[in-house]
Amino acid sequence: MDSNYSAIPKGSYVELQIQNEPQDFRSQKRLLLSDDGNSANDPKVLHDFDDLNDDVDVDLGSDIDDYALVSSTPNKGSGISGAVFNLTTSVIGAGIMALPATMKVLGIVLGVVLIILMGILSEISVEMLVRFAVSCKAKSYGEVVQIAMGRTARVLSEICIIVNNAGVLVVYLIIMGDVMSGSVRHLGVFDQWLGHGFWDHRKLLILIVLVVFLAPLCALDRIDSLSTTSAASVALAVLFVVICSVVALIKLVEGKIESPRISPDFGSKKSILDLLVVIPIMSNAYICHFNVQPIYNELEGRSPQKMNRVGRITTVLCVVVYASTAVSGFLLFGKDTEADVLTNFDKDLGIEFSTVLNYIVRVGYILHLVLVFPVIHFSLRQTVDTLVFEGSAPLTESRKRSLALTIILLVLIYFGSTMIPNIWTAFKFTGATTAVSLGFTFPALIALKISQQEEGLSLSRIEKFLSWLMLIVAVIVSIAGIIGNIYTIQSKSE
């Protein structure tokens, strides 16, 4: 008789896991089907479960539909290189263009030091997240948060992911529209190439890009399917760094670059408040935690050690890209560096082939954002699905629901980009709250909470210190970012 099911190899087992996980990970139980046919309802099995944890009641009579089937055989997924590209793409987005402006405020020395330190601290938080998620058998960011802190905390973390990722994607569409169609202060690429035409209509151009390029990529239901596009996006980011570095080096040799700021300026109230706005940009540069678990789930032969290797390679790559971009961009434009350095590339760079290089940088950046967009959208769609359709089958098993969610989210993101002409201030607010919570607050609380619940997962003194340091950094960044943005709004209104 034809069947869609395959036989389980002799000597292996399957694991039945509750999809609606309990509050305490110690109450999660394995229900094994062994070769001799012993079932979970066997008295001996029940007795063994009771011995594991006497204070937990296991309802083995619950509906079998409440469990997800997980094979013990290794999963076939992406390799380390694919995982690195996907995680790097999650990190390097629109924020890279704000880093040269941070050098204008912090100075080159402190700026580079902070880029390195924030990269290290973020990698530590990722490794903590992976360690405790694997120990708890959590399949998503929200699951490990619930196991550590309860249902309310999970909902809060998932709202943070939705607000953060949706905000990022809206910003991406706005930047695409500004670069292609132009803005009040800058000419668009198409205007410079072709003159005036239908491409002057920003909303129409964004819609075409969304339907033709973004929608097909966002419709993919596995993140490892985006490994190739992620590799291309990383290559485009590296191309931008190479162009900036080469142009800066040429101008430096020709003596056309002014002496850059080395240290921050504390001489005025404005300079100090500028520092408050810059701090969230630096701390949020490495936020990728919402995609760590999906990438881990699809990692071939996955293990915490293997994922840590992915995270460390990603961090080194991002530190190099960030530091090179920040320094070369600041050297190129000095005190005229814009908050979004991309807008500086519509002027003469002062070297040969300046116009061509400007086009390559701006068009390359748009292509980079097109390729980053579906990676950020993937975790947004998964989180919305988990929050709205809790307990349903995974999205990979429900193509109709996956496509419906993709269409709805893209429509909402499109309207957000057309109704809000400039959301940089709002973006900074979300960066000072939701992003820092995902990158530092929740991972630190997860480590501290679960280590208290289970002796085998206790933290060392250094790990406890780092966890508390993350919480302190998160509080400082949130307060500084909110105060700085309030001051910015008041200054503009005056």
Contacts of 173 (CB under 8 A, 6+ apart): 206, 209, 210, 413, 414, 416, 417
CB atoms within 10 A of CB 419: 10
pLDDT of the residue at 15: 45
The share of the chain scoring above pLDDT 90, in percent, equals: 34
pLDDT bucket at 367, cuts 50 / 70 / 90: very high
pLDDT-derived band at 115, boundaries 50, 70, 90: very high
Decide if 31 is inside a domain: no
CATH code, 243: 1.20.1740.10
More confident call, 70 vs 282:
282
pLDDT at 482: 76
CB count within 10 Å of CB 348 equals: 8
- 15-29, 148-162, 390-404, 469-483 — which is least confidently predicted? 15-29
pLDDT above 70: residue 304: yes
Q: Which residues pair with 68 in a beta bridge?
A: 17
Least confident of 5-19, 20-34, 173-187, 231-245: 20-34
Structural domain boundaries, residue 137? 80-493
Is 41 within a domain? no
pTM of the model: 0.77
CA dist., res. 147 & res. 339, Å (int): 40
Q: How confident is the model at residue 316 (pLDDT cuts 50, 70, 90)?
A: very high
| 301 located within any domain | yes
Tell me which range, 9-23, 288-302, 477-491, is most confidently predicted by mean pLDDT: 288-302
Query: Which whole number is the average pLDDT over 38-62?
Result: 40
Least confident of 68-72, 104-108, 381-385: 68-72
Does 392 reside within a domain?
A: yes
Please say if the pLDDT value at position 489 is more than 70.
Answer: no
Q: What confidence tens digit (pLDDT) does each residue in 141-187 have?
A: 999 999 999 999 999 999 999 998 998 898 888 888 888 877 666 67
Q: What is the mean pLDDT of the chain?
A: 78
- pLDDT over 70, % of the chain: 76
Number of domains into which the chain is organized = 1
Structural domain includes residue 318 = yes
Mean pLDDT, residues 348-369? 86
Residue 41, pLDDT score: 40
Asked if the structure places residue 237 within a domain, the reply is yes
Residue 19 scores a pLDDT above 70: no
370-424 confidence digits (pLDDT tens): 999 999 999 999 999 999 988 788 887 888 999 999 999 999 999 988 876 555 5
Position with higher pLDDT, 294 vs 433: 294
Q: How confident is the model at residue 320 (pLDDT cuts 50, 70, 90)?
A: very high
- Please report the pLDDT score of residue 23 as a whole number: 43
Residue 67 pLDDT class (50, 70, 90 cuts): very low
71 lies in some domain: no
Residue 123 has pLDDT above 70, yes or no: yes
Structural domain contains residue 103: yes
Instruction: Evaluate if residue 20 carries a pLDDT over 60.
Output: no
